A and B are shown apart, each in its own frame.
Chain A
Amino acid sequence: MQDSLFTAQSGESSETLEEINDELLRRAKSLPQFKDRVFIFGEGPMRAKAAVVGESPGPPDVDSGRPFMGPAGQMLDRILGSVGLARADCYLTNTVKIICQGDEITPEWLSLFTPYLHRELAVVRPRLVISFGNTPTRALLRTKKPISQLRGEFQDYEGTPLMPTFNPAYLLRDPTKKREVWEDMKKIRARLASTQNDS
């Protein structure tokens, strides 16, 4: 039923998300540090208005089996809603697909997960990417620059506009950063409005 959704058209990725996720799972589960982990993969429509990329799932995500749940997920809903985006309009995923502490994410982990994130987005082909926080921004843009330097301006991700901004969990800890995120979201709204007829 879903096959048609994932069927490749000319010049596009010919993989399915299931194939990508399965390959990642097999590789990760063969490594001792990932053996006992619960994986939370991305969810959402193909050709989504926006792909939302976070750092890693949190405990509420593992409990519900979905990305961006709990307080940070509620914050994400509000952030998206502020510019007229519904969660269902977006493809939601994380850079690292397992629950972890921020400082647990090593270069080795990233080198395992990042290629699958690129392949995932190549299949989803969102109209734009919102990159929440340092980890996804650095992984997607292959840069070491901090989010505070990159946020606020559209960057180019493989021909797709990518807006880096602070992640929702960070806003829960430091609400003063909401202003910046709001400024970034307004640019996203403008971009989505201007490209409405392009797709």
Chain B
Amino acid sequence: MEDQTQAREILKSLTEEVSEVATYLRELGVETLEGTLPSAIEASARTSEKAKVARPPAVAPALRRNANAERPQPSPPEAPLPPPKPSTSTPRVAGEPPAFRQQTAMPKKPVRKPSPDPPAPRETLFGDITPADDLSLGHPGETFEDIRRDVGECVRCPLHQGRTHIVHTEGSPTARLLFVGEAPGADEDATGRPFVGRAGQLLNKIIEAIGLKRDDVLIGNVNRCRPPANRTPTTEEARTCKPFLLREINVARPDVIVVLGNTAMKNLLDTKEGITRLRGEFQDYKGIKVMPTFHPAYLLRDPSKKREVWADMKKVRDYLNSTKK
């Protein structure tokens, strides 16, 4: 009984070795295993660890099945294949998996990633499509001006019906700090500039409090048109407008984004958490530090919250100083 278990263990490890060697040889471009098996096992036992990558799934089961068949009475290597494969070419080695046979038709060269089914020429027309990445958000190499031109005289959502001006993001694309609010209010709509009303004046003070000037930073909103009666933009309105801000973020790649208030935060971070929970700690947007804090308009209603905003802004200042180039 013990012998049998031991034999099974040996057989199992042997099978694994064989399959690894097979993978290894295949990587080297070896076409047949004829007569090379025993020495190859010895020679590559040391290197078999490296050859573990990209083991074709077809190899191991086929060999294992064959090995099990040999167990009671070692059969000659000419034994028929377990899965009889209709093929015009004569199998050169017993137990040679189908994938190998395909390999024999290929030019002799190392094959790193074996593709069992090489695509027909017609399928490579127009090339292969790689999974879309975030760069496909806008045009490669686009500028703020390009994005603004794409916004155009926007009518993509109903908010345009009540607007006087589209309020674009303001500031230099080289700025290290971006403030993002929710949507323009009456003053912004009238002037076409973000954060120019009372809340904007408070934001200016907040910026100056960390030793910066308004000209040093970028200021924008998720939505660029003023909602009627300053209501919160709907999910669809935010989703319609947000891509332009995201494209600007892609262009500017600021070091820190400060999201002002719950709506802006939820739209940028795609979170269900509230501002009270997330403020004060850096969050992440595609590798950019994001600090959620209260909206200046909220501070106008509840000045006691200025303490928290000041604490949050100190973290932003410290981070900017620590990463200064």
Query: With A and B bound together, what is the CA distance between A171 and B239 in angstroms?
Result: 29
Q: Would B122 and A176 count as touching, CB distance under 8 A?
A: yes
Whether a CB of chain B sits under 8 angstroms from the CB of A64 is: yes
Greatest chain A CB density within 10 A among B131, B132, B158, B235 is at B132
B127 contacts the other chain (CB 8 A): yes
Known A43-B150, A179-B125: A64·B158 in contact at CB below 8 Å: no
Contact A175 B158 (CB under 8 A): no
Number of contact residues on B: which range applies? Answer: 20 to 34
Give the total of A residues in contact with B, Cβ under 8 Å.
37
Q: Which of A65-73, A149-157, A189-197 faces chain B?
A: A65-73
Known contacts A175-B123, A178-B125, A179-B125: does B236 contact A36 (CB below 8 Å)?
yes
**Nearest A residue (CB) for B235:** A36
**B155 adjacent to chain A (CB < 8 Å):** yes
Q: Which residue of B lies closest to A75 (CB)?
A: B129
> Looking at A64, A71, A82, which has the most chain B CB atoms within 10 Å of its CB?
A64
Selected interface stretch from A18-26, A118-126, A133-141:
A18-26
Which residue of the partner chain, among A2, A39, A181, contacts B156 with CB atoms under 8 Å? A39
Are the C-beta atoms of A176 and B126 separated by less than 8 Å? no
Q: Give Cα A181–Cα B161 distance, bound, in whole angstroms.
A: 41
Using Cβ atoms and an 8 Å threshold, which residues of chain A touch B239? 38, 62
State the CA gap A175–B121 with chains docked (Å). Answer: 10
Knowing A37-B236, A75-B126, the reply to whether A65 touches B132 (Cβ < 8 A) is no
> Quick one: given A25-B158, A60-B136, are A65 and B126 in contact (CB under 8 Å)?
no
Contacts known (A66-B150, A82-B126, A175-B123); A21 close to B155, Cβ less than 8 A: yes
Min Cβ gap B269→A in Å is 15
Scoring A residues 2 to 35 as 1 if CB is less than 8 Å from chain B, else 0, what string do you get? 1000000000000000100110011001000000
Q: Chain A residues near B129: list those with CB within 8 A.
A: 71, 74-75, 78, 172
User: Given A37-B236, A41-B156, A63-B243, list of 19 further CB < 8 A pairs?
Assistant: A2-B153, A18-B153, A22-B155, A22-B161, A26-B158, A38-B239, A43-B150, A64-B137, A69-B132, A71-B131, A74-B129, A74-B130, A78-B126, A175-B119, A176-B120, A179-B125, A181-B126, A182-B125, A182-B126
| A–B pairs, 21, beta carbons within 8 Å | A25-B156, A26-B161, A38-B240, A39-B240, A64-B136, A64-B246, A65-B156, A66-B138, A74-B130, A74-B132, A75-B129, A78-B126, A78-B127, A82-B125, A82-B126, A172-B129, A175-B122, A176-B123, A178-B123, A178-B125, A181-B126
Q: Which 7 A-B pairs have the closest CB atoms?
A: A65-B243, A78-B126, A175-B123, A178-B125, A22-B155, A70-B132, A179-B122
